[in-house]
Amino acid sequence: MHYRLYSAVCLAVILFTAGCERAPSRVQVVGTYSGTLNGAAETLVLRADGTFSQEVSLPSGTKATGAGTWSLKHKGVTLDRYMHFYSEDKNGALVQPSEVFGLIYLWGADMLIRDWDSGYYTLSKR
| Span 13-27, average pLDDT | 67
Tens-digit pLDDT profile for residues 23-41? 899 999 999 999 999 999 9
87: Cβ–Cβ under 8 A, 6 or more apart, which residues?
Answer: 93, 94, 95
Cβ atoms of residues 33 and 44 within 8 Å: yes
| Span 45-61, average pLDDT | 97
**What's the confidence (pLDDT) of residue 6?**
46
Amino acid letter at 104?
I
Q: Which of 50, 25, 47 is nearest to 107 (CA)?
A: 25
Q: Which of 9, 35, 13, 8 is nearest to 108 (CA)?
A: 13
**What's the confidence (pLDDT) of residue 5?**
44
Does this model's pTM top 0.85? My answer is: no
Alpha-carbon distance 61 to 64, whole Å?
10
**Measured CA distances, 38 to 34, 50, 67 (Å):** 14, 29, 23
Alpha-carbon distance 33 to 5, whole Å?
26
* Full set of structural domains in the chain with CATH: 2-125 (2.40.128.50)
Tens-digit pLDDT profile for residues 66-113? 999 999 999 999 999 999 999 999 989 999 999 999 999 999 989 999
Alpha-carbon distance 31 to 26, whole Å?
10
